[in-house]
Amino acid sequence: MRADLPHTRRRLIVNADDFGFTPAVTDGILEAHAAGAVTSTSMMVHCAGWDDGVRRARATPALGVGLHLNLLVGVPLAAAPSLTDARSGRYVPLATMVRRALLGRIDAGEVTAECEAQLAALADAGIPCTHIDSHRHVHALPVIRRAVAAVACGRGLPLRRPVESHFRAGGGLTSQIHRGLIGVAWRVTSIGAPRTRAADHFIGVSMQGADRFAQQLASAIDGLSPGTTEIMVHPGRVDDALVAVDGYTWQRERELAALVSPLLRERLRRDDVTLIGFRAL
């Protein structure tokens, strides 16, 4: 093992989002972890795969588990009128959430209470939380950003900084627009927000849905900058519960195939990159 200087060392967190979303998604994440590719995951609280996810997270202590803050699927654990539909009590769709955030119609106290409630659910389930991120990156939105950052600071937890390098190549036009919008939102909401810990670099949004995901993943690893990089992935199997609530389905199986491939396994055996979890930050 070569002895790199601290400022030149390249460390990599491969974090799989959506653990506990549905049992099939959890299946895929654990398969990628068993293959040695996924070092960390983020768990959704009280979704269709919650009970199954709790049992399997407890049985896999080597896999660090963070909170995948969910403000979009199902119903909140705490009272949250500004985040939900008044008639159904369910979370509003992403477009409505964005509009409310931009118009200042989201209550920061409700976001704080919901984030704390979801963290408490993990703790009550016996799952130590290693970090915080969010479903569809809603923690980059106005009001939500400050509230979640304050919770992360108060608990000493890293909070994902979902800003990719401007030169990062990736998938199609949709993913590139998504990457750009998230980056702008993050920079704007950084003004006055509590400072939080995070990996030095982030990659992931631009690769979602990419036709050549395996090649782009390998290229991203080859091109890692010095310091710690988080690569966000979404491996999974597909079940009816997933199809009912999310449009990212078969793409998860393509990501899983890349993550468990012998080619990637061989790439990760080289001594130029150190695989870590968020506990090592």
- Would 1 be classed as within a structural domain? no
Could you report the per-residue pLDDT of 127-142, keeping only the tens digit for each? 999 999 999 999 999 9
Helix (H, G, I), strand (E, B) or coil at 32: helix
pLDDT at 3: 47
Inside any domain, residue 4: no
Does residue 72 surpass a pLDDT of 90?
yes
CATH code of 68's domain: 3.20.20.370
- CA 140 to chain CA centroid, Å, is 12
The pLDDT value given to residue 175: 75
Rounded to the nearest angstrom, the gap between the alpha carbon of residue 184 and the centroid of all alpha carbons in its chain is 18
Q: How many helices and strands in the chain, by DSSP H and E? A: 10, 7
The whole-number pLDDT of residue 1 equals: 40
Q: Encode pLDDT of 194-248 as tens digits.
A: 999 999 999 999 898 888 899 999 999 999 999 999 999 999 999 999 999 999 9
- pLDDT of 258: 97
120 located within any domain: yes
Average pLDDT of the chain to the nearest whole number:
93
> What's the rounded Cα separation, in Å, for the pair 216 and 230?
15
* pLDDT value, residue 16: 98
Burial of 3 (0-12, 13-18, 19+ CB in 10 A): exposed
- Total domains, the chain: 1
The residue-averaged pLDDT of 108-121 equals: 98
Cα separation, 50 vs 22, in Å, equals 7
pLDDT recorded at residue 185? 93
Per-residue confidence (pLDDT) for residue 170, from 0 to 100: 58
Between the alpha carbon of residue 94 and those of residues 100, 114, 136, 138, 201, the distances in Å are 10, 17, 8, 8, 26
pLDDT tens column, 175-204: 778 888 998 999 999 999 999 999 999 999
Q: Does residue 75 sit within a domain?
A: yes
- Asked if 158 contacts 121 with a C-beta cutoff of 8 angstroms, the reply is no
Name the band, by pLDDT with cuts 50, 70 and 90, for residue 264: very high
- Alpha carbons 256 and 217: distance in angstroms, whole number: 12
Virtual torsion, Cα 246, 257, 28, 19, nearest 10 deg: -60
**Higher-confidence residue: 271 or 81?**
81
Distance set, CA 229 to CA 105, 147, 274 (Å): 34, 25, 10
pLDDT of residue 176: 76
Residue 5 has pLDDT above 70, yes or no: no
Q: Is the pLDDT of residue 6 over 90?
A: no
Q: Which pTM was predicted?
A: 0.94
Name beta bridge partners: 134.
69
**3-state SS track over 164-184:** CCCCCCCCCHHHHHHHHHHHH
Range of the domain at 252: 10-280
pLDDT at position 169, please? Answer: 53
Please give the pLDDT value at position 268.
93
- Show Cβ contacts of residue 17 under 8 Å, excluding neighbours closer than 6 positions: 41, 42, 68, 133, 135, 232, 233, 234
Residue 166: what residue type?
H
